[in-house]
Structure 1
C-alpha cells in the first residue's frame, strides 16, 4: 500500500510538472509590455536629450561672461577659470547616453528600410548636431566608433581629430538634408517639426551654415564653399522655423530646474553682459533680467521686491568668490550680493522654457558676416544684421509673454544703434553673443571662433588659465578608455582648459 501511494504521488508530481513546463513560456510572457519601439520615438528621445545640461551653465555660459556664480564646490567652473570634471563631464555623458546612443540605434535599425528614409535623414541631422556640440566643447572625441557600444559592442572607442570629424559632419548634413523626400512618408510623431520636411531641410542647411562658419579662420576657402551651399539651399530665417525643444511640466528645462531650485540664489548676470546691454539702451535687458531690490538673502528674493527696470540692474563683477562678491556688493552700495541682477527664473529661465538649437537670429547674423566677407552676394550686410537683432528681440516674447518687446522699441533700438561697416565683425559677433543667451555651447563656440565680444580675462587670483578654450575629458573615460584618451591627448594637446580645438588654432 505504501509503495502504491509513492507511485501515485510521483505520477501526480510528474503530471503537474509537465503541465507547468508546457505552459511556462506563455505564463512568463508579458503580453502588454512593448517588445520594440517605433524608431521615431527614439529620435524624439534623442531630440529631448539635446537640451543643454547644468554643466553648460557652469562652463559655456560662464566662459562668455553672461551668467556666473560666486560659489565654489560643485559650482566651480568658469567663475574661477578652474577645472571641475564633475561639471565638464555632464555634456559628454548626457549626449553620448541620451542622444548618440539613440541615433546610432535608429540608423542601424532603419538604414535598409526605404519606407523610413526620411526618418533616417532626420536622425542623421540630429546626430550631426550633437557631434558638432561635443567636438566644439572637447575637441577630439570618439566619432566614428562613438556611441557604438550598444549596437556594435565597441566599448573602447577610438578618438578622432576634430578636422576629420568636421569633414564628416559636413558630409552627413549635406547628404541627409538633400535626401529628405517631400513626397515620402511624413513622420508626424517628430516632436521638433511634426514631420514638416521643409523645416527639417532648413534646419539641416542651418547647421551646415554654422559648420561652414566654424572654418572661417582655419580654412576660409572651404568655409566659403560650405556657406554658399547652405545659403543657396535655404536656411532658417524666421522664428516660426526655429529649431527648438519645447519643454513642459513633465519634460522640464534642465538649467531652468537648477535656477528654480537648489541654486536659485547662486547665479547672477555678469557685469560685462549687463553693462553692454545698458550702454546701448537695449530693451532686452529688461526682458531678460530681474533685480530683487534690497534682498539680503535668497528667501528675500521674492516677486514682490523684484523689478525689471533696466536702470536698477547691476551685474556681478567677474573674478569673485563668495567673500569677494560680498565686498563687491558693499562697494557698489547694494544690500548684499543677492541684489545683483539675475536671469529671471520666472520668465526666460523658468523650468518650462524652451531650449533653442538654431535660431533665425543666429542665422541672419552669420549671413551678415558671410556677406561682409563676400562669401554670399545676395542681400546687404546691414539688412541681415538688423534682421538678426529684430528676430532675437521678437524671439524673447515666444518664451514668455512678459518678456515681449514692443515693435516700436525694437525699431528705436536699431535706429539708435546703426550698423557700422568699419566695425562689422565686432558688431555682428557681439550681437551673436547676445542672441545666443542661454544657448551656451553655441555662444562659447562663436566667441572662440570670432574673438568677439571683447572680454577681459577672468581676474580671479586662483585661475588656471586666462580664457577657457575647451572642456576636459571625463574621469571615467580616462580610467576606462585610457589608451585612446592618451592617443588623443598626444595629438591634440594637454587635457586642460587651455588647449585649443582645431578650428580655433
Structure 2
C-alpha cells in the first residue's frame, strides 16, 4: 500500500496523536495488519488531503486567473502573476497531493471490500466518488495522467483524458445509485457525517461539473450526463461540502491560509487583482467591501498581519477602524523597482508611509487577513452556488436539466455564492443587500454568448479559493475575458498558461510512459500553452 506510513500516522493524529504507538505504526508497510485497520480512517485522511488544496494554488493559479496579483519576482508568487520560470519549480504538488488523496480513497475502497463489503457498502461508494474528485483535479491541471492502473503501480502509463472523463462520469452515476441509507453510515466523514442522501446529491452535482467540462470537446456526452443530473443535485446551500480545520496539527491547518501567515513578507506583496476588484466594482457587488482591507500605514504594518488593518466603507465620515475609500485592485505583471515597477502602472495610487517605512502597495486592497489568512479558515469543496450556475448554463444551452429557468438558477448562484460565505466566517455576513443585488442584475439572455459570459464570470467569483476549479472553468468557458500580462522574460510569450508541466522526476523515473504522453502534446512538456483534451 503506497504511502501507508503517511496515512497510518495521519490516522493516529486524527485520534490519539502521532507519537503514541509510533513503533507499531512504523512497521514494514508490506506487513501491515489489515485486520486492525479501519477503512473509514483512510477515507477521513483522504478527505483532509483532497479538501486542503495545496498553497501553490495561490502562487500559480490565483494570479493566472487574475484574482490575486503580486509584485514578487524570483519567488513562488511570480509563477502565476508573470508566467515566470518558477512555474517549472513548483509544478508537482497538484500531481503528488492528488495521487496521495486518490490512493487513500482507493485503499479505503479496497480494504472495505476485503473486510466486509456489506457493512462498508456506503464507504465503498463514497470512496469511489472522492477518488474521481481527486483524479479530476490532477487531469485538469496536467492532461493525460495515470488513472486506470492499480494504486501503487511502479511505472504507470498515462491514460487519455478522453477515456478518463468517460470513466469518471460513469463511476459517479454508478456510485450515486448504489448508496443505500439503510446500510451503515460512513464513520469519520468530515463533510456530511455519513448522510447518504447528501452524498448522492454531491455525486450528481459533481457529475454536472465533470459533464460541463466537456462542452467544447464532447458536447453530446456533456449534454447526456448533465441531463442525468436533473432534479438530483444540491437542494440548497446547506448541502455545501465544507472541510473545517481546527488550526492545530499541520494536517488540520488550511494550507493556503496558513502559508500567508507563515510568510507575511511575501504576503505583503500580494493584493487583489485589479481585474477582480474592477469586476465587482462595476456592478457594485456587496462582496467588494466585505472581502477587502487596507494595510495600516507604512511597510512595517504592511507586513505585520497581526496588526489590525483598515476596512473599507461607503460611510462618510468613516467609523473607527475603517476608511471611506473604494477598494482599488493592483494590476498583474508588475514588480517593485524592477523592469516593470508598479509605480509606472496606470492610475498608481502612490505609497503609504515615509522614508524607510514606505509601503509601495499600501493603497491597494488586499484579502481580509484576519479571515482568509487564518489556519482554521474552512474550505469549500463544492457548493450549491457553483452547481446552480452550471445548471443555468445547461439551461441556456437548451438542455433538459429540470423545470427551473436559467434566470432562477443564475439568481440562486448569485445569492448563495454570497450567503455561503457566512458558513466560512461570521465576518463575511451580508444582509438584504444580497437579494437587492441579485434582483438588480438578472441574467441577460438576449444572446447565448452574453448569458454564458455572465454565468461563467460569476462562477469565477463563486469558486474563490478553489483556484484549480477557477482556472479549469476559465479555460473551458473562455470567461471572464482576461488580458494576459507580458512581463519581460516570461515563459509563455504573454499567454495565460493552459496546463502545468508534469513533475520533473517523471522524465527520469517513468520515462517511457512520460515520453508517450508528452509526444501527444507535440513533444514539449515545457510549452505551457499546449491545451489538455477538453480545452479546445
Task: State how far apart, in whole Å, the 1-side matches of 2:125 and 2:334 are.
Answer: 47
Compute the TM-score of the two structures, normalised by the length of structure 1.
Answer: 0.88
Aligned counterpart for 2:242 among listed residues 241, 244, 248: 244
Task: State how far apart, in whole Å, the 1-side matches of 2:403 and 2:177 are.
Answer: 22
Aligned length: 469
CA contact 1:85–1:473 (8 Å) conserved in 2: no
Task: State how far apart, in whole Å, the 2-side matches of 1:299 and 1:115 are.
Answer: 53
Change (3 A) 1:480 1:74: farther
**Alpha-carbon shift at residue 470 of structure 1 (Å):** 0.5
Match of 2:261 in 1: 260
Q: Deviations over 1:191-249 (max 9, x none)?
A: 121000001001111110011101111111211110010224x1124221111211112
**Alpha-carbon shift at residue 293 of structure 1 (Å):** 4.5
Instruction: Identify the range of structure 1 (361-370 vs 307-316) with the bigger mean alpha-carbon deviation.
Output: 307-316
Corresponding residue SS for 1:322: coil
The answer as to 2:413 corresponding to 1:388 is: yes
Change (3 A) 1:503 1:87: same
**Alpha-carbon shift at residue 30 of structure 1 (Å):** 6.0
Task: State how far apart, in whole Å, the 2-side matches of 1:349 and 1:374 are.
Answer: 42
The answer as to 2:433 corresponding to 1:402 is: no
Task: State how far apart, in whole Å, the 2-side matches of 1:143 and 1:282 are.
Answer: 41
**Alpha-carbon shift at residue 307 of structure 1 (Å):** 1.7
Task: State how far apart, in whole Å, the 2-side matches of 1:305 and 1:371 are.
Answer: 43
Instruction: Identify the range of structure 1 (443-452 vs 85-94) with the bigger mean alpha-carbon deviation.
Output: 85-94
CA contact 1:348–1:396 (8 Å) conserved in 2: no
**Alpha-carbon shift at residue 301 of structure 1 (Å):** 5.8
The answer as to 2:197 corresponding to 1:198 is: yes
RMSD over aligned CA atoms reads 2.1
Say which structure is richer in helix: 1
**Alpha-carbon shift at residue 288 of structure 1 (Å):** 1.3
Corresponding residue SS for 1:268: strand
Corresponding residue SS for 1:277: helix
Corresponding residue SS for 2:381: strand
Task: State how far apart, in whole Å, the 2-side matches of 1:30 and 1:360 are.
Answer: 43
**Alpha-carbon shift at residue 68 of structure 1 (Å):** 2.5
**Alpha-carbon shift at residue 186 of structure 1 (Å):** 1.3
CA contact 1:162–1:502 (8 Å) conserved in 2: yes
Task: State how far apart, in whole Å, the 1-side matches of 2:373 and 2:389 are.
Answer: 24
1:56-95 equivalent positions in 2, closer than 5 A: 56-75=57-76, 76-83=78-85, 84-95=87-98
Any gaps of 5 or more consecutive residues in structure 1? Answer: 1-28
Task: State how far apart, in whole Å, the 1-side matches of 2:479 and 2:162 are.
Answer: 23
Corresponding residue SS for 1:504: coil
Task: State how far apart, in whole Å, the 1-side matches of 2:349 and 2:123 are.
Answer: 56
Change (3 A) 1:300 1:56: closer
Q: Rg larger in 1 or in 2?
A: 1
**Alpha-carbon shift at residue 412 of structure 1 (Å):** 1.8
Task: State how far apart, in whole Å, the 2-side matches of 1:66 and 1:111 are.
Answer: 43
Match of 1:108 in 2: 110
**Alpha-carbon shift at residue 491 of structure 1 (Å):** 1.5
CA contact 2:269–2:361 (8 Å) conserved in 1: no
Aligned counterpart for 1:347 among listed residues 355, 371, 395: 371
Match of 1:24 in 2: none
The answer as to 2:157 corresponding to 1:158 is: yes
Q: Deviations over 1:323-378 (max 9, x none)?
A: 34542579322321143211112113422111211101100100111111111251
Task: State how far apart, in whole Å, the 1-side matches of 2:132 and 2:280 are.
Answer: 33
The answer as to 2:332 corresponding to 1:318 is: yes
The answer as to 2:447 corresponding to 1:430 is: no
Corresponding residue SS for 2:436: helix
